[in-house]
Structure 1
Amino acid sequence: MAKYIYHKEDSRHHEYNEWLDSKKTFSFSDYYNPKRMNFGALRVFNDDILHAGKGFGRHPHDNMEIISIPLDGSLIHKDNLGNEQVVTAGEIQVMSTGSGVFHSEYNHEQATTTRFLQIWIYPSALNVTPKYTRLALNKEAFDNQLSAFIAPEADTQTAAVQQQAWMSLGTFNHTRTFEYQVKQSGNGAYVYVISGQIEIDGQQLSAGDALGISETNAFSGKIISPEAEILVTDVPMTF
């Protein structure tokens, strides 16, 4: 029987200051909650808004897969690998930090905010050679269906992470049902509602809500608002 973990929007830790408006699902930085450490290999899930021209100064990471998904606006990324990239809504970036990376992330917009999802996944191998990827998403691939853009192996539609993990996005423009097949036995699926309303096994979810689903190979849901956007992060529950 499937197991569920429901994370309501207003249960997240909310940090607000002069440069950042951040909603953190799991323990992160100064926020510590022993009941909110991870969902399997999913370690961090932050919904961040950077104020105009502001951001995260140069700092290090290692042995973590870090995915950034701009929802509106744009980020400017710089790292010690020699990458300097502007990542806009409709694109994603992935850092496999491996043996270590120094980087900065700023709002590239000088007059408006940028909203992006910051997601960390534990890797399956430690101290690998660091790697950076920027990927332009094919918007049509996500129309009224869930389609992967993160996978263990890269192709024209997906960027790779060092883990048996997948991330899928769906943008729906009418009410309908949907089904999701968990990508690998032993994985769980963390469903996050970016916008709109959905229902999974009787649990209604609105924007900012999330549902972790494990110990099942598949689940189905309903889009119950005229428009909705959902993100599914499919990760090993033990690693």
Structure 2
Amino acid sequence: MNVVQYRSDSRGSADYGWLKTRYTFSFANYYCPSRINFGVLRVLNDDIVEPKMGFGTHPHDNMEIITIIHEGALEHKDSMGNGSVIQKGEVQVMSAGSGITHSEFNPSDDKQVSLFQIWIFPNKKNIQPRYDQSFYSEDDLNNQWKLIVSPDGNENSMWIQQDAWLYLGNFDSNKSIEYQLKNPDNGVFLMVIDGEVKTGDNELFSKDAVGLTAIENSLTIETSKQSKLLLIEVPMLK
């Protein structure tokens, strides 16, 4: 098994006043030649947006964009006519395809919004843009992998234009969790949103991540304490 570690304190960072962010991969003013992407996973930004602040209208194209809200809420508007507020526990999928513009704004008077924004390269370009949004309860995630994004919408997941699978799970301490790969040629990116886990010889703490390739069909993760995990299986770029 090949291992690439992404320690929390080794990520890029920026503080714009209204936005505090940590970059797992090269983004904006953070550039690290060894951290451009993990397979088709291009971006995983860990953002905190201050009240009444946000991202003004800006364009995207040919990217699958997934937003996971941890705390607070985020108001979204786009050129497809969508307008909604994404709450804690909700996940948004936006296929930018041939091109869209959108804005994201924290509508709260006094509460920050904490979120992950994830970008994945699509396997088809210039498709028709598309939007989706779904809520996942704590029960959905309790001691199990909950499929939130997939290529085909299985298990009530949202779908993207890529052979990639995204899971969330909340696991009790002293659990042994197995993940079976969909494709043995794929890689697995595992991030500890909160907690402490071990996989192989890799001990991971809150906001640590690891990228794993050449996995023999399955992966075992052991929790040292209660842990919330994000797992992303993606094709590797050749």
Is this a same-fold pair by TM over 0.5?
A: yes
Aligned residue in 2 for 1:147:
146
Contact 1:194/1:230 (8 A) holds in 2: yes
Task: Tell me the secondary structure at the aligned position of residue 91 of structure 2.
Answer: strand
Aligned residue in 2 for 1:224:
224
TM-score, with structure 2 as normaliser: 0.97
Q: String of CA shifts for 1:195-237, please: whole Å, max 9, x gaps.
A: 0100010211000100101111211011001x11000011001
Task: Tell me the secondary structure at the aligned position of residue 26 of structure 2.
Answer: coil
Aligned residue in 1 for 2:75:
76
Contact 2:40/2:236 (8 A) holds in 1: yes
TM-score, with structure 1 as normaliser: 0.96
Partners of 1:156 and 1:211 lie apart in 2 by 26
1:189 aligns with 2:162: no
Q: String of CA shifts for 1:148-177, please: whole Å, max 9, x gaps.
A: 110001246200010000001110133211
Partners of 2:222 and 2:173 lie apart in 1 by 10
Aligned residue in 2 for 1:179:
178
* Alignment-mate amino acid for residue 65 of structure 1: E
Contact 1:138/1:157 (8 A) holds in 2: no
Task: Tell me the secondary structure at the aligned position of residue 10 of structure 1.
Answer: helix
Aligned residue in 1 for 2:128:
129
Contact 1:186/1:238 (8 A) holds in 2: no
Aligned residue in 1 for 2:57:
58
1:159 aligns with 2:158: yes
Cα RMSD after superposing both structures: 1.1
Which stretches in structure 1 are left out of the alignment for 5+ residues? none
Task: Tell me the secondary structure at the aligned position of residue 224 of structure 1.
Answer: strand
Report sequence identity in percent.
Answer: 39
Contact 1:137/1:157 (8 A) holds in 2: no
Partners of 1:157 and 1:140 lie apart in 2 by 15
Which stretches in structure 2 are left out of the alignment for 5+ residues? none
